[in-house]
Chains A and B, each alone.
With several copies, the nearest count.
Chain A
Amino acid sequence: MGIIVNRDVSVIVQGITGRQGQFHTKLMLEYGTKIVAGVTPGKGGTEVHGVPVYDTVAEAIHEHKVDASIIFVPAPFAASAALEALENGVKIVVIITEHIPVKDTIKVISYAKRIGAMIIGPNTPGIITPGECKIGIMPHHIYEPGNVGMISRSGTLSYEIAASLTRSGIGQSTCIGIGGDPVVGMSFVDVLRLFREDPRTDAIVIIGEVGGNLEEVAAEYIIKENYSKPLVAFIAGRYVPPEKRMGHAGAIVMGRTGSAESKINALKKAGVEIAQKPSDIAVLLKRLIRR
C-alpha cells in the first residue's frame, strides 16, 4: 500500500534510451518496479534491459496495460511527452526532467487537471513506496518500509532525511518529491490529503524550502481541516539572500513572500513541529509517534 503507487502499478519510461533513462530503468527494475515498456521516438523496436522500446506511447499502450509513466525526456520536448502520456490515458505521470519552461509546465498541468490525471513534478526525484515500487531516481537502498509519509520539494535533501529516518529505525510508507520548480503538478496539500486517507501512514514529514507559498497554503489546510496525523517539517534556505535563485527555479525569495521565516511561522501556527536541522526530524518523529 502507501499512496499513489504500489507493487501492481505498470510503468512506462519515456526517454528510456537516454543515459539517465537507461540507468534508472535498470535500478527501478532491480527494485521490483513493473516497467512494461519504454518510449523513445526513432528507437522503436529496440530493447533496454529487456524492456521493449516503442516510438510512441500509443503503441506501448496498445501492447501493454499502463498505469503510470516516468519521463526522462530533455526539457524542450518533455512537456509534449507528458501530453502524449496524458492523451493516451496514463493517469500518473512523473516528470523527472528539470529546466522545463514554466509556460510548458503550466499547459501540461492544466490539461492533466481537465482530464483528471496526476502530474508529479517536474524536476522531481519521483515517488517511492519502499519495498514495493519506485518510480523515480532516488537511491533506494536508503529507504525502508514503515509508517511515515514524506513530501519534499527537493531531491537530495529528501534522500538525506530519508536516510536519517532509516538509520533511526523509522521506515516510510511513501516518499514523494513534488518537484523543485515554481509550478508543479501536486502541492503539499494534494499529498497531505492522500496521506490522511492512507491507513499505513501514521505521521508525515514535510520538507519545504524558500520560494513561493505552498508551505503556507499547506499550513492553512492543516488548520482548516483539523488535520489528524502528526506532522514534522524542515524548511531549507533560512540563510539564503533574497532575489537570488538558489539552483532550483523554485527556490527564490521575492520581496516579502517565500522566506523561510514566513513558512516556519505558518507551519508552527498549524501545530507542525519544526526541525532545526535534518537530523532532528527523526528525534521529533519518535517523540510524536510514541505519544
Chain B
Amino acid sequence: MKLVEYEAKDVLKRYGIPVPQGIVVTSVEEAYKAACKLKPPFAVKAQVPVSGRGKAGGILFAYSPDEVKVIAEKLLGMHIKGLPVKSLLIEEKLSIKKELYFGITVSRVDQTYIMIASQEGGVDIEEIAERSPEKVMTLRLDPWLGLQPYHARLAARFMRYSGDALLSLENIFQSIYRAGMDYDAELIEVNPLAETIDGNFVALDARIVVDDNALFRHKELQEKYFELLSPHEREAAKHDLAYVDLDGDLGIICNGAGLTMATIDVVHLFGGRPANFLDVGGGASPERIAAAVKMLLLNPKVKVILINILGGITRCDEVAKGILDALRSTGIKKPLAVRLVGTNEEQGRRMLSELGISVVDSMEDAVRQAVGMVRGDGRDGDYR
C-alpha cells in the first residue's frame, strides 16, 4: 500500500524528522486559505500515490496565494497516471543548498533490508544509480541488528558530511529506519532530503510503501487501503480475490498468480485482449469463485469469460459449484471457455456439462476457444 506524500510526511513528523510547513487541501478555496497561513514562495503538490508526479506536471510553484489558487484550480480534477487528483499539499518552498537521497527497502537478492544513500537526490534513485553509480551506496542490514547508529553515520559520511551535520543526519536516518520498521514498510525513502541554505536537513518529499501482508498489524491503514482501490479492485478484495483491471474484452479467471499471468500471455499470443487479471488464489471456496465469475458477468467490458483452473488446493467440484451459483444468481449469460483439471475433476466437469458448459483439458485449447468466442466468427484463436 502506497501512502501519498502528506501521509508519508505525517509519519516522518511523528518520528521527529523535519518536513516543510504545509497544509493538505481538497478545494481551491482551502488552497487559497492555506497559502495565506504560510510563507511564500509555495509548492503546490498533487497528492497521488505514483512516482514521477513532478514530470507529469503534478508539482507546481507559486509566489502568492492568488497564484496558488490558479494552480490549485488546474491540478484538482487533473488525472496523473490514471489517478484523479483529489487533494493537494500546499507547502512553503525552502531555499535549498543540496538534494540528497536516503531510503530503506527490501532487497530480494540479499533477502533482507538494505540502506540506500545517495549524494544526489530529487530524481528516481534508479536513474541516479544508472547514471552515476559512484554516487549511490547500498548496505545490507542484518535484520536482527537493524540500522545501528554507525550504519547511519556511514551513510552520512558517504554523503560527505562531518561534525554536527553528521550527527543530525545520523538521527534522521535512524528515525527513518524506525518509522519504516514500525510501519512494516517495503520501501521508505526521503527524496529529496534537502540541505537548506541555513544548514538544516528537511524531507522535501517522501514515499512509504507498506507491506500489504502486514496490514493486519496496522488497522488504521487497513481502512485507507480499501479507499484507494478502484471499484473493481475493492469488490475483489472483499472476496479475497487478486484483481487488476486491464484494457481488453476477454475476462480471465485463474487460480495462482503465475498461471494467471501465463494465461494472459497466452491470450495475447493467440490474438486476444485480456480484460483483467483475476486470481482466485489457493483453495478458493465456491463463494469466492462465484464472486469472481459474478464480477466479470457484471462488467460490461467483458464479452467472454475464460476460466482456467488447475486444482491443487482448489477443488474442481467447488469451482463448478461457484460458476453455477454466479450464473444462477445474476441471470446473466456470457460465453464461457472453461478448463478444469485437478482434485475432484470428474465431478466438476459433470456439474458444468449438465448446464451445457463444455470443459476442455488444456489451457491452450481453452484460450484458443475463448479468443474465438470473442471474435465471434466461429473460428478459434490463432498462435501468432
A residues with a Cβ closer than 8 A to B are 19-20, 23-24, 41-45, 55-59, 75-77, 80-81, 83-84, 87, 98-103, 106-107, 109-111, 113, 125, 137-139, 152-160, 163, 180, 182-185, 187, 207, 209-210, 212-214, 217, 234, 236-241, 243-251, 255-257, 276-279
Contacts and interface: CB of A to CB of B under 8 A. Distances in A.
B144 A107 contact: yes
A189 to B, nearest CB: 10
Contacts of A243: 50-51
B32 interface: no
Interface in B142-159: 142-145, 148-150, 153-154, 156-157
Find the residue from B111, B259, B265 having the highest chain A CB count within 10 A: B111
A207 B261 CA distance: 12
A115 B245 CA distance: 44
B264 A240 contact: yes
A167 B281 CA distance: 25
Interface string B179-223: 001001010000000000000000000000001111011000000
A133 to B, nearest CB: 17
A234 B214 CA distance: 31
B322 interface: no
B257 interface: yes
Given A106-B106, A217-B109, A241-B246, A236 B261 contact: yes
A257 B344 CA distance: 40
A255 B256 contact: no
Contact of A214 (B108, B256, B258): B108
A243 B255 CA distance: 21
Contacts of B54: none
A279 B153 CA distance: 49
A183 B257 contact: no
A41 B265 contact: no
Contacts of B383: 277
Given A20-B283, A156-B254, A102 B213 contact: yes
A157 B148 contact: no
A246 B167 contact: no
Contacts of A99: 213
B170 interface: yes
A41 B363 CA distance: 41
Given A155-B282, A156-B259, A236-B258, A163 B341 contact: yes
Contacts of B343: 139
A247 B257 contact: yes
28 contacts: A20-B313, A41-B149, A55-B156, A55-B157, A56-B153, A58-B150, A80-B148, A101-B211, A101-B217, A102-B184, A102-B213, A103-B211, A110-B142, A111-B144, A159-B310, A182-B106, A183-B108, A185-B111, A236-B258, A237-B264, A244-B244, A246-B244, A247-B261, A248-B257, A248-B258, A276-B269, A277-B262, A279-B363
Contacts of A182: 106, 108, 186
A42 B154 contact: no
Given A137-B313, A279-B363, 6 more contacts: A109-B111, A138-B312, A154-B261, A237-B261, A241-B246, A277-B364
Interface of B: 50-51, 106, 108-109, 111-113, 124, 126, 130, 142-145, 148-150, 153-154, 156-157, 162-164, 166-167, 170, 181, 184, 186, 211-214, 216-217, 242, 244, 246, 254-262, 264-266, 268-269, 274, 277, 279, 281-283, 310-313, 341-343, 362-364, 383
Contacts of A139: 310-312, 342-343
A240 B261 contact: yes
Contact of B363 (A80, A100, A153, A278): A278
B277 A246 contact: yes
Contacts of B246: 241
A238 B144 CA distance: 37
Given A210-B261, A240-B261, A255 B153 contact: no
Interface residues of A: mostly helix, strand, loop or mixed? loop
| Residue from the set B154, B277, B312, B362 with the largest chain A CB neighbour count within 10 Å | B312
A172 to B, nearest CB: 16
B363 to A, nearest CB: 6
A30 B157 CA distance: 32
Contacts of B213: 75, 99-102, 249
Contacts of B283: 19-20
A110 B264 CA distance: 35
B261 to A, nearest CB: 4
Contact of B153 (A55, A157, A236): A55
Contacts of A256: 126, 130
Contacts of A80: 148-150
A102 B184 CA distance: 8
Contacts of B269: 276-277
Nearest to B267: A239
A255 B148 contact: no
Contacts of A77: 149
A239 B265 contact: yes
A106 B258 contact: no
Given A110-B112, A209-B258, A277-B266, A44 B150 contact: no
Contact of A279 (B211, B279, B364): B364
A184 B108 CA distance: 8
A139 to B, nearest CB: 5
Nearest to B167: A42
Contacts of B216: 75-76
A236 B312 contact: no
A188 to B, nearest CB: 11
B256 A42 contact: no
